Amino acid sequence: MKRDIIAGNWKMNKTNAETKELIKELAPLVKDAKCEVVVCVPFTDLDTARRAIRGTNIKLGAQNVHWAPKGAYTGEISAEMLKELKVEYVIIGHSERRQYFGETDASVNARTKAAINAGLKAIVCVGELLEEREAGKTAEVVVRQVNGALQGIDKSGLKKIVIAYEPVWAIGTGRTATAKDANDTIAIIRKAVRKLYGKTAARALRIQYGGSMNAKNASELMAMPEIDGGLIGGASLKAEDFAKVVNY
């Protein structure tokens, strides 16, 4: 059986000292979690987080990875560098990477391949802009992004992937898709995966909701049949808030 996954995306927040303190506070609050718990911290906090989660049920994640194993790519981090720090998960194609740093479906695909080929697990993000949603293009956009991200990846590679549906209009805005809307869109994503890999693989794939899930709406969202977890932004920066989501 697949296990729900709640991952915290800290984005560009927390120093090393703050990382150590937050994980120390979080660990006892989530020790009995039924779901998989992941913290995706800034690159500079990875080693501190690695040490802090020892002996806990918390997994370590990074927020990006480059497609090349090494080279003249100033500011980038390779999969092998992440593996050396015992990173297990990596977020790829987050809407903020697409919006501010020029990520495309092609670059998301290349980064995803690099991650899974190195033995990392990829949290691949897809989601539509507000204008795309209002134009009725949600299905078109997420299917295109899914097909682009998974191009050239076989069934064994798919087993190392989690997809996060994050409607861009609901990230950091306080707006949230209704539970039904989120469930319906994730069903569209799963259908796209089914066309590529078959019914069994699509059913086994974990698909998170990533649009402002928090302590107040987590239970309702997680009760939906298509939703297998959450990619949590702001609510992951406070131990008590994140624990409430984890223990939905």
Paired tokens of 161: 């992937």
**If we measure between CA atoms, which residue out of 103, 117, 106, 116 comes closest to residue 162?**
116
Active site members: 94, 166
- Do residues 126 and 142 make contact, with C-beta atoms less than 8 angstroms apart? yes
Handedness of CA 202, 230, 65, 138 (dihedral sign): positive
7: helix, strand or coil: strand
- Between β-strands 89-92 and 161-165, what pairing exists: parallel, antiparallel or unpaired? unpaired
What pLDDT, on a 0 to 100 scale, did the predictor assign at position 169? 80
Q: State pLDDT tens for residues 49-76.
A: 999 999 999 999 999 999 999 999 999 9
Q: What is the mean pLDDT of residues 14-19?
A: 98
Quick one: CATH architecture of 5-239? Alpha-Beta Barrel (3.20)
Q: At what angle do helices 239-246 and 16-30 cross, to 10 degrees?
A: 40
Give the DSSP per-residue string, 66-105. -SSSSSS-TT---HHHHHHTT--EEEES-HHHHHHH---H
Q: State pLDDT tens for residues 126-177.
A: 999 988 988 999 999 999 999 999 999 999 999 999 999 999 887 766 676 7
Residue 202 gets the label, from left (phi > 0), alpha (psi -120 to 50) or beta, of alpha
Whether the per-residue pLDDT at 18 is higher than 90: the answer is yes
Longest dimension (CA), the chain: 49
What is the number of other CB atoms lying within 10 angstroms of the CB of residue 73?
A: 11
Say which residue, 177 or 221, is predicted with more confidence: 221
Query: Alpha-carbon distance 127 to 168, whole Å?
Result: 6
Domain residue spans in the chain?
5-239
Can you tell me which residue has the tokens 């087993």? 159
